[in-house]
Chains A and B, each alone.
Chain A
Amino acid sequence: MDLNNVVKIPIGPQHPCLKEPACFTVSLNGERLAGLDLRLGYNHRGIEKAAESRTYIQNIYLIERVCGICSHSHPSCYIQCVEQIAGLEVPARGRYLRSLIGELERVHSHLLWLGVAAYEIGFETLLMYSWRDREVVMDILAMLTGNRVNYAANVIGGANRDITEDHKKDILKAVDVLEERTKYYIEVATEEATLIARLSNVGYISLDDVKLMGTAGPTARASGLDYDVRRDDPYAAYKDIPFKVITDTHCDVYGRALVRVGELMESYKMIRHIIQNIPDGPIAVKAPRKIPAGEAISRYEAPRGEDVHYVRSNGTDKPERVRVRAPTMVNLLSVPKMLEGDNLADVPITIAAIDPCFSCTDRAIRVSDLDGGNAKVMTWNETRRFGIDWYRKNGIDFTDLNKRLAGRMR
């Protein structure tokens, strides 16, 4: 490699992940990526430290705000730790309610991802479609919990709110609508040549590398890793709910898209099963204010992958230590491997494909030669634009598809 031709581009650091805002320093040799360096820790808020000075009850609401998109996963995982230390047995109805909110959250998160991923490749119609459909599940979450995001659906010892017969009818109706729409997305994903050509062989990571990097969630399952905490270490009511773990062997961004839409279909089935089989009885048991001394670790399959929490208590009403390991943390580490030998135009979609809680904040990108000579600053939008235009020049153009789909809009 001729070092004089290598250009380094720092992407970030304003990367609004939960606790893992990142700075990707991309080294380019012409159009091709020669290397990628990762720096974490810009958006650090100090939640783990703050958790030590708040009571167990207050911490539910603090931990909920680790991530606004996984706002059921984190508190559930934390509460499982606390229940384990205190020796609390959650009633069956409470466990079913936890799984119900968890699956509804997965639906909203995957629909959100579908829109963001489509936006990054210039397929704006799909963004508008999937975000419109996402409002259906947001309405259900608002109806069940009182809030669209940050549901506060958990208490230590069970669930916070019960569901009624009317709620059940509304949920089933919404699931029917969403299932029909998702079938349409699967049709688009498997039949549209433009989409397949754009996503195939982008961000390739083999099964061996996935195991080596500890990659989690849909990103790992898209490389053929048959692993899901819901099946392999069941929590909440997942032991009683039949479902299939969706895997794929494409190992690329296309595979990750297929896994996520497949998981949407599984989630609909699980929601129906929960509604039809939810047992009667209390939704929660009373929890003591002071938790006995001890420590516990718990796992949870968040929409982005395996979430791990650790809690150590010392017999008071405040935890001694809380540790959060979010799935994006491990998935980010696999991004350099995915991007090896790829194009600069593939950077936005490959980073978006691990679903790093990507929102639409602008990120500045600075392009400069290794010797610091020719410096060029690109914003995230410009990089995205560059990617879309680059592929358009190479024959992958979403303009027709956008128009055709918009024509079919009901």
Chain B
Amino acid sequence: MGIVNKLVTWSRVKSPWILHFNTGACNACDIEVVASITPRYDVERFGLLLKGTPRHADVLVCSGPLTRQIESRLVRIYEQMAHPKFVVAVGTCACSGGVFNGCYNIKGGIDSAIPVSAYIPGCPVRPEAIIDGVVKLLGSLQNPTEAPATPIVINPPEESEELHG
């Protein structure tokens, strides 16, 4: 790897820019993604920056099941991103279709349209799980060619006794 490539990889790992795209979610995962960039969780400390356009983004964060109307738009947004690009499926719906599986307007998870690098299940995903997934993805950004072949799966955290009283 040449010095330029090393520099590019270093800067990508230090500050990946993400694009958040709602593919038909119920908004629960979307507000948790926003919660993870606000002061309590603050993923910006890992260098992540939310961007407005796919042409600037390294990581596409998708939430929600893939509806028929959104499919072509998702593929178009994915194609607009520059290589190397990574897709994170946030939430059970984005991973597999979740509770909407079997609805006539749902195609399934995000991976039925585009390759996914990281799956973060949860309904909705907790901000802690988003941070965990993002940090693990940052590790795999070091070696971008392998990322789509070996997806990362974040297991849901074990439910504590405290929550169930």
Which of the segments A145-153, A219-227, A236-244, A284-292 contacts the partner chain?
Answer: A145-153
Expressed in whole angstroms, the Cα–Cα distance for A357 and B63 within the complex equals 15
Indicate whether B50 reaches chain A with its CB closer than 8 angstroms: yes
Q: Is B163 a contact partner of A16 (Cβ separation < 8 A)?
A: no
Nearest CB of B to A198, in Å: 22
Residues of B within 8 A of A71 (CB): 26, 28
Indicate whether A361 reaches chain B with its CB closer than 8 angstroms: yes
Nearest CB of A to B133, in Å: 17
Nearest CB of A to B87, in Å: 15
Tell me how many residues of B have a C-beta within 8 Å of chain A. 41
Q: Is B32 a contact partner of A148 (Cβ separation < 8 A)?
A: yes
Indicate whether A401 reaches chain B with its CB closer than 8 angstroms: no
Q: Is A362 a contact partner of B28 (Cβ separation < 8 A)?
A: no
Residues of A within 8 A of B20 (CB): 359-362
Nearest CB of B to A258, in Å: 23
Q: Is A361 a contact partner of B67 (Cβ separation < 8 A)?
A: no
CB closest chain-B residue, reference A381: B52
Q: Which of B21-45 contact A (CB under 8 A)?
A: 21-22, 24-35, 38-40
Q: Is A44 a contact partner of B73 (Cβ separation < 8 A)?
A: no
Residues of B within 8 A of A135 (CB): 35, 40
Expressed in whole angstroms, the Cα–Cα distance for A147 and B28 within the complex equals 11
Expressed in whole angstroms, the Cα–Cα distance for A69 and B28 within the complex equals 6
Chain A: interface residue count, which band? 35 or more
Q: Is A359 a contact partner of B22 (Cβ separation < 8 A)?
A: yes
Residues of A within 8 A of B123 (CB): 65, 150
Residues of A within 8 A of B52 (CB): 362, 379-382
Nearest CB of A to B105, in Å: 4
Residues of B within 8 A of A381 (CB): 52-53
CB closest chain-A residue, reference B162: A143
Indicate whether A181 reaches chain B with its CB closer than 8 angstroms: no
Pick from B27, B40, B102: contact of A69, CB under 8 Å: B27
Residues of A within 8 A of B21 (CB): 14, 361-362
Indicate whether B3 reaches chain A with its CB closer than 8 angstroms: no
With A16-B25, A46-B105, A362-B52 as given contacts, are A68 and B30 in contact (CB-CB < 8 Å)?
yes
Indicate whether A61 reaches chain B with its CB closer than 8 angstroms: yes
B-contact 0/1 string along A344-360, CB 8 Å cutoff: 00000000000001011
Interface centre among B25, B26, B52 (most CB of A within 10 A): B26
Nearest CB of B to A181, in Å: 13
Expressed in whole angstroms, the Cα–Cα distance for A132 and B99 within the complex equals 30
Q: Is B22 a contact partner of A146 (Cβ separation < 8 A)?
A: no
Pick from B53, B70, B103, B165: contact of A14, CB under 8 Å: B70
Q: Is B104 a contact partner of A68 (Cβ separation < 8 A)?
A: no
Residues of A within 8 A of B27 (CB): 16-18, 67-69, 357, 359
Residues of B within 8 A of A128 (CB): 38-39
18 CB < 8 A contacts A-B: A16-B25, A16-B27, A43-B69, A44-B69, A45-B103, A45-B106, A50-B100, A62-B99, A68-B124, A131-B40, A132-B40, A135-B35, A142-B163, A146-B164, A148-B32, A149-B124, A359-B22, A362-B52
B-to-A contact residues, CB < 8 Å: 19-22, 24-35, 38-40, 50, 52-53, 65, 67, 69-70, 73, 99-100, 102-106, 123-124, 126, 159, 163-165
A-to-B contact residues, CB < 8 Å: 13-14, 16-18, 42-47, 49-50, 53, 61-62, 65-69, 71, 112, 115, 127-128, 131-132, 134-135, 138, 142-143, 146-150, 161, 164, 357, 359-362, 379-382
Q: In the complex, given contacts A66-B26, A146-B163, A359-B20, what are 10 additional A-B residue pairs having Cβ atoms less than 8 angstroms apart?
A: A43-B24, A43-B69, A44-B105, A46-B100, A49-B104, A138-B35, A142-B163, A161-B165, A360-B30, A361-B21
